[in-house]
Copies of this chain bind each other. A is one copy, B any other.
Amino acid sequence: MRIKRLKIDTYREYILYLRRDCDLCRAQGFGALSKVEVMANGRGIVGVLDVVDEPFLDSDQIGLCEYAYQKLGLPEGTEVNVRHPDPVRSVELIRKKIRGEVLRREDYRYIVQDIVSNRYSKVELTAFVVSTAQGAMERDEIVYLADAMAETGESLEWGREMVVDKHCIGGVPGNRTTMVVVPIVAAYGLTIPKTSSRAITSPSGTADTMEALAEVSLSLERLKAIVEQESGCLAWGGSFALSPADDIIIGVERPLNMDAPGQMIASILSKKKAAGSTHVLIDIPVGPTAKVASFTQAVQLRKLFEYVGDRMGVHVEALLTDGSQPIGRGVGPALEARDVMQVLRCDPDAPQDLLDKSLDLAGRIIEFDPAVRGGRGRATAEEILRNGAAHEKMLRLIAAQGAREPVRPGPLVREGLAARTGTVASVANHLVAKCAKLAGAPVDLGAGLDLLKKAGEAVREGEPLFRVHAEHEADLGFAWDYWQRHPEMIVIQ
């Protein structure tokens, strides 16, 4: 059979296409959903078959979706062998897991290797994710999974004894503490080579917000030079294949909207270990509309983070924080970047909650330094902020990564008004996030919500509660409609 490239994007699944009337389908009994191996010149991939009756394939051609074509890396027309693949052996381990058995360290290695080699179909990948979800993993199994994920991709080396990092488990809009913490910690002198993700389901990730100010796609050489010079950076982690299994697993977790503790911990700590971190602070926001709703649940999660970190040789501290409402005013890349810069400039209008939380986190990280007396971290962080060193460090990071024309909040604006006089009782994280996404965030960097009133503040009827910023009329309308249908987004009592 000869290769034909079909520019079909199937999101990281190898889909292959054969004509129903081709000899192979008849002789080998291939049908839709069959797993098929394509081999040539010692390279091979295993994909899932779609059977076609379309003129776009000849009967001696095998179509490869774009992802498969790129992976195989052979030109169109190359003669390939097509055959039944050997069964993926680690799928038997998933069946074991489904039966409730405990898997061993090497079992997780086999599974993760097969995931990274793209030998799993979406069905098999989902079976793995679901079988290891909620309560189904012993805590040592989380260690095995995390280690296997960290080992399977690239890893970064910094040649320093202590490399610190922070990570928030998410769920709280705004909350862009990382961009305040990194300049403070780097200005203090600790090494904090922060790589962040873009938004997956949220209105902005740290990489999106930083992109409103500077370049974030950096080569490894560039990243290393900046960290060497500045002790820190605020880059997008997607350029490096740190824990690549994670990126593949997300492909099924996202449509299921799943985030089981074991997988979350393995995902986060595998990336941190591969990124060369020695000390990691985990931010666990707790609140009725956050990812973690109860204190008990949060404490369990903290202990699990610490246990797994210890076993992986990474010092992890997990901090329970207030996740009852968004942190800061802006929700969306440009609006959040504005908040961050206000805090760093010690602007009296800076959102106090973002300032406070950032100092707490930076203080705890500074206390990773054995020379710092317990409890003195926050005061040190505050001094670095007040004396302008953090702001200066941020400007140096922006310049080093490549400053961009600052993105302004979207020009189309509509204000959400208070329906009555009273006190704001609650601002719901998940509804604010959804509304900001409908406004266009994070794709439109200027889009999002600007929260003018937060829980506890007094409002009068008709006073603005928030502003929607958008780049397009339609998006402004979508966000506005959502607010009209979800007045529980901001409750006044």
Binding site for B on A (CB under 8 A): 6-11, 15, 17, 20, 27, 29, 31-33, 35, 50-54, 56, 65-66, 91, 94-95, 98-100, 121-124, 126-127, 129-131, 133-135, 251-252, 254-258, 260, 443, 472, 474
Contact = CB atoms under 8 A, between A and B. Distances in A.
Contact of A32 (B11, B31, B130): B11
A130 B98 contact: yes
16 contacts: A6-B52, A9-B31, A9-B51, A11-B31, A27-B472, A29-B443, A33-B251, A35-B255, A91-B256, A98-B260, A99-B134, A122-B126, A123-B126, A123-B252, A126-B126, A130-B131
A9 B52 contact: yes
Nearest to A134: B99
Given A50-B9, A50-B10, A100 B134 contact: yes
A415 B53 CA distance: 40
Most chain B CB within a 10 A radius of its CB, from A100, A251, A252: A252
A134 B258 contact: no
A94 to B, nearest CB: 8
Contacts of A133: 98-99
A254 B11 CA distance: 23
B98 A134 contact: yes
Contacts of A8: 17, 50-52, 54
A30 B53 CA distance: 27
Contacts of A9: 20, 31-32, 50-53
A130 B99 CA distance: 10
A27 B51 CA distance: 31
Nearest to A51: B9
B124 A127 contact: no
Given A9-B50, A130-B98, A135-B100, A123 B255 contact: yes
Contacts of A123: 122-123, 126, 252, 255-256
B17 A121 contact: no
Q: Counting chain B CB atoms within 10 Å of each CB, which of A127, A130, A472 scores highest?
A: A130
Given A27-B472, A94-B256, A122-B126, 17 more contacts: A6-B52, A7-B52, A7-B54, A9-B20, A9-B53, A33-B254, A35-B255, A50-B65, A53-B66, A91-B256, A98-B130, A99-B134, A123-B256, A124-B255, A124-B256, A127-B130, A127-B256
A27 B474 contact: yes
Contacts of A131: 130
A43 to B, nearest CB: 24
Contacts of A27: 472, 474
A31 B251 CA distance: 12
Contacts of A29: 443
A98 to B, nearest CB: 5
Nearest to A20: B9
Contacts of A135: 99-100
Max chain B CB contacts within 10 Å: which of A6, A123, A131? A123
A91 B254 CA distance: 13
Contact of A95 (B52, B95, B251, B257): B257
A395 B95 CA distance: 44
Contacts of A129: 127
Contact of A121 (B15, B99, B255): B255
Contacts of A50: 8-10, 15, 65
A20 B9 CA distance: 9
A26 B50 CA distance: 27
Nearest to A91: B256
A438 to B, nearest CB: 10
A431 to B, nearest CB: 15
A388 to B, nearest CB: 40
Given A6-B54, A8-B17, A123-B122, A255 B130 contact: no
B35 A10 contact: no
B6 A255 contact: no
Nearest to A128: B130
A282 to B, nearest CB: 22
A257 B89 CA distance: 12
Nearest to A254: B33
A252 B254 CA distance: 19
Contacts of A443: 29
A58 to B, nearest CB: 14
A89 to B, nearest CB: 12
A-B residue pairs, 7 tightest by C-beta: A11-B32, A126-B126, A7-B53, A11-B33, A130-B130, A9-B51, A9-B32
